[in-house]
Amino acid sequence: MSAAKIKAPRGTFDVLGEDAARRTALEARARSVLEGAGYERIETPAFEATELFARGVGESTDIVRKEMFTLEDQGGRSLTLRPEGTAPVCRAYVEHGMHKRRQPVKLWYLSSFFRHERAQAGRYRQFWQVGAEAIGSEDPAVDAESISLLAALLAEMGVRGLRLRLSSLGSHESRREYRERLQAHLRANEQSLSEDVRSRIELNPLRAFDSDHPGTQSVMRSAPRLLEHLSAQDAEHFAHVRELLDVAGVVYEVDATLVRGLDYYTRTVFEFTSDALGAQSGVGGGGRYDGLVEQLGGPPTPGMGWAAGIERIMLAAENGPTGGSTHSPPPAPVELFVALESPREDLRTAAFGLLSEARSAGLSAQMDLGGRSLKGQLGLADTLGARYVAIVADAHTTLKDMQAGRQEPLATNAVVHAVLRGQHAL
C-alpha cells in the first residue's frame, strides 16, 4: 500500500510551468519600470518580530487581529510571517540609518507575504506582491510619481477594466477631530450597525466605510466625510497630488469613502481595482504613511508607497505578461533629468508633465523629489549620470546635452522629441 499523498497547505500553490514564465516576465517589467525611475531593490526577511506588525500595521486591523501566522522561536520570542511589506521596509530604513542617504530613499520589492484569510480565487494565504516605497519626502510629486508608476506597470501588464480611486485621509491631527464627529454619528445610529463595526467605534471608526453590512452602509451614507474636514494644509497637498496626476494623464475618481485595511495611512490613499476580477477586485493600492518611521523608532520621516498582488495582476491581465524576456534587462541609465530653475509651483507642475511625457515615450527619466536648489538638482543629475538635463524656466526650457557639452532653448513640449532625435543621431 502506498503512503497517503501530502498536498500543499490550503491557500497556497506551487509556481511552475507557464505560470513561472509569466511571473519572470512580470518581474522583468516591474524592474525596468521601477529602476528606470530610480527605485532600488530591497528584500527583507520572511519573518519579523511580531511587534513590528502590531505597532506598524495596527492592533485594530483585521491583519493583526486575525490574519497573522505567528510562531514562537526556541528562545520564546514571538515571530510573524510578514503579512505586508511597508513596515519591514521602514524597519530596514531605520535599522540601516537610511535617513542619512539622499532623500527620498526609493525602494522596491517583489516578495511573498502571508495572511491567514479565507482562501478563494485571488485570495491566498501565501501570495506575492510587487511594492514600491519612497521614504523621506512629503512632496506631492512623490505621491503622483508613485501612483503613476503603478498605473504604468498595470497598463504595461495588460490589466483589463482598471479603475483608480483616490482620496486623502489627512494628517493624524486633522483626523483626530473628524474621528470624534464620526464616532458621534456612529453612536447615534448604533442599533443599525453590524456587530463588528459597533465593536470598533472606539478603536477604528473609519473602517465602517468598508462594511458590506446593509444597515451599516445606510448609516454611512449620511456620515460626515473626512475629505470635507481636511486641514488647509492637507487639502492643499491633496489638490497638488490631483493636479500632478492630471498633468501625467492618470485618470482617477475621487472617492471620499475609500479606506484601507492598514492603520498607518495619512493624507493620500488610493486603490486600483479591475472589473476582470470577481469579489477580490483590488489589484493594488497604497498611500502615504507620514508617521510610520517615527512609530518604529526612527526620526520623523514621511513616506509613500504601494503594493500590487502578482496573482491578481496575472488574473486580470488578458494575455500578458507572456513570452517576454525571462531575464531582467540591466537598469537603464538616466536619459533625461528634469530640473526646475526656481521652486515655483507652476514650474514644478510643468516639470512633472515633462517627466511623465518622457517616461511614456520610453525614456528613463527622473526629477528631484527632495526640494533641492537648482545647483543641488544639477549635482543630482550629475551623480545619476544623466545624458540630458532639461531646465524648466519661465520663458522656455533649456536642454543640455551633457555628453556633447551643448545646450539649446526649446519649448517644453519639444524636449522629448529633441532627446529622442539626439539619441538616434548618436
Choice between 38 and 353, CB closer to ligand HAM: 38
The residue range among 18-26, 84-92, 159-167, 217-225 that interacts with ligand HAM, by the rule CB under 6 A, is 84-92
3-class state of residue 48 by DSSP: strand
Options 104, 140, 285, 302; binder of ligand HAM; rule CB under 6 A: 285
Options 108, 109, 127, 337; binder of ligand HAM; rule CB under 6 A: 127
The answer to whether 397 and 391 are in contact (CB under 8 A) is: yes
What distance, in Å, lies between the first and last C-alpha atoms of the chain? 71
282 scored as a contact of ligand HAM (CB under 6 A): yes
The answer to whether 12 and 124 are in contact (CB under 8 A) is: yes
283 scored as a contact of ligand HAM (CB under 6 A): yes
Options 98, 308, 363, 365; binder of ligand HAM; rule CB under 6 A: 308
The residue range among 116-124, 155-163, 248-256, 335-343 that interacts with ligand HAM, by the rule CB under 6 A, is 116-124
Choice between 8 and 425, CB closer to ligand HAM: 8
The Cα–Cα gap between 386 and 403 comes to 9
The answer to whether 354 and 392 are in contact (CB under 8 A) is: yes
3-class state of residue 112 by DSSP: strand
Identity of the amino acid at 297? G
The answer to whether 273 and 101 are in contact (CB under 8 A) is: no
312 scored as a contact of ligand HAM (CB under 6 A): yes
Q: Is 99 exposed, middle or buried (0-12, 13-18, 19+ CB in 10 A)?
A: middle
The residue range among 90-98, 101-109, 122-130, 237-245 that interacts with ligand HAM, by the rule CB under 6 A, is 122-130
302 scored as a contact of ligand HAM (CB under 6 A): no
The single-letter DSSP state of residue 330 is P
252 scored as a contact of ligand HAM (CB under 6 A): no
Residue nearest to ligand HAM (CB): 309
Strands, DSSP E only, in 293-411?
Answer: 303-309, 336-340, 365-367, 388-392, 397-401, 406-410
The residue range among 92-100, 174-182, 300-308, 386-394 that interacts with ligand HAM, by the rule CB under 6 A, is 300-308
Q: Tell me which residues touch ligand HAM (CB under 6 A).
A: 84-86, 115, 117, 123-124, 127, 129, 131, 133, 261-262, 282-287, 289, 305-309, 311-312
